[in-house]
Amino acid sequence: MGAIVGIDARIDIAFSSDGYTAWTQLSERNEFSISISVDSAEHKVFVANLAAAWVEKARTWMAWSGSISGYYDDASNTIFNTVIAGETVKLRFYTSQRKMTHYWEGLAVLTSVEHSVGTDDFATLSVDFEGQGALTRVSS
């Protein structure tokens, strides 16, 4: 399908260990990208004549995945500990820190962490994730 992108965004996280009820803002993680994909499969199972054997497709499984990136905050090991534990988290993605009325929300597993420091002395953290179930659009 397409991508959902947030720059100068807000991302909140909640953990299964507390029933996904306590939301924590991921500090300094100010960019995200979410990709949504839809698989398809051949739908026509039998044809009597190969001249009429045009492929028909049917929608099957949907999936979403993406990445979060921003400046690294060494005051918290939340992301690293979550990846190590393999815990499912609930993520909320606001496309702007100023417009907080609409957001995307879904369960995900954090699949990789990359921590880097460039020559400009800024440390960054990038996290990849895979969605678990539906990604929903919420208006508050």
Q: Which domain holds residue 109?
A: 3-39+60-139
Q: How many CB atoms lie within 10 A of CB 62?
A: 14
Query: Residue 118: its pLDDT value, please?
Result: 75
Beta strands in the chain (DSSP E): 3-7, 10-15, 24-25, 31-42, 57-71, 88-94, 102-117, 123-139
Residue 96 lies in a domain: yes
Residue 12 lies in a domain: yes
Query: How many domains are there within the chain?
Result: 1
Residue 67 lies in a domain: yes
Choose among 59, 7, 65: nearest CA to 36.
Answer: 65
Alpha carbons 122 and 128: distance in angstroms, whole number = 20
CATH code, domain carrying 9: 2.30.110.20
* Contacting residues for 41 by C-beta, under 8 A, at least 6 apart: 57, 58, 60
> pLDDT tens digits, residue range 40-93?
988 776 778 888 778 888 889 999 999 998 887 777 777 778 888 888 999 999
Residue 45 lies in a domain: no
Alpha carbons 77 and 84: distance in angstroms, whole number = 11
Query: Residue 38: its pLDDT value, please?
Result: 92
pTM of the model: 0.81
Residue 112 lies in a domain: yes
